[in-house]
A and B are shown apart, each in its own frame.
Chain A
């Protein structure tokens, strides 16, 4: 039995290693300090440093019900799309994807609203999605690297 257990573990580890190599080779590579925007089958990159920053002020609510005041610099999601040459009016939804593939969807109304959807600049230079109005930080996407525009 001991031998069978070791064999099963070894097989699973080998399988994981193979899939990890495939994943790391096939995933979209986004240069540091940039955001990848995918729209209509085209890829475009927006440099975070080139975006016009705004001051984000507001309150978000955690899963425990604790409120957290946000006072940091960031950019509106609509401005990022505009910078990539996409008309925000024509957008149905945007999937915001993190470096670890965690994602959240924004609807066109949220993108178009003046003070709802932001990408906040973190201290380490990464971007974090902030959506005002969520009841429990459901869309707390950290280290955003990609926007999939539908």
Chain B
């Protein structure tokens, strides 16, 4: 991992925090849906991981997703919002972060939209598989539904993340002088 600029670190910290907040905010509505489907979750995490994908794409460094996952797990442990994973929650944050890094790396030669979409689907899928392996132990149809809900929500988050990245990416990769001019204009 190359040395990160201060602006990149700030974006990463912001995205990690926004991910935690988004998960908390979406939880009541998500619980209504998962209760109706009789599955233990899979929606809130997708919204949380969307910000990790945005942060990882904006910094453009392999490992930034994992780093944000580590930050998120630290925040979650500090706030006591570890969810059903309990003390194992760091694994539940780091594995999707690593998955996001790997997917973005695999899609590095393709368009940003493709990478964002793939990462937004793969991240929640990895998180769901990890949670199922560690805690839920679902099998057959409930497991399939749980994974499909995670992927679908991830895809919807991808639709939100793509325009977000398309607008922020040029700003992040603009020379400092030009960025200053742009800020003045806006």
Contacts and interface: CB of A to CB of B under 8 A. Distances in A.
Are the chains A and B members of one assembly? Answer: yes
Interface of A: 1-2, 5-6, 8-9, 12-13, 15-16, 19-20, 22-24, 26-27, 63-64, 98-103, 136-138
Contacts of A24: 37-38
B141 interface: yes
Contacts, number: 83
Q: Is the interface of B mostly helix, strand, loop or mixed?
A: helix
Given A16-B152, A101-B40, A136 B87 contact: yes
List the 6 closest A-B pairs by CB distance, nearest first: A63-B86, A9-B155, A16-B148, A12-B152, A101-B142, A100-B40
B70 to A, nearest CB: 18
Contacts of B104: none
B58 interface: no
B86 A26 contact: no
A1 B114 contact: yes
Contacts of B135: 102
Contact of B86 (A8, A13, A100, A137): A137
B117 A16 contact: no
B113 A23 contact: no
A138 B138 contact: no
B171 to A, nearest CB: 21
Contacts of A12: 121, 148, 151-152, 155
A12 B158 CA distance: 12
A16 B82 CA distance: 27
B86 A138 contact: yes
Contacts of A8: 117, 121, 155
Contacts of A103: 136-137
Nearest to A105: B137
Contacts of B111: 1
Given A8-B117, A23-B145, A99 B38 contact: yes
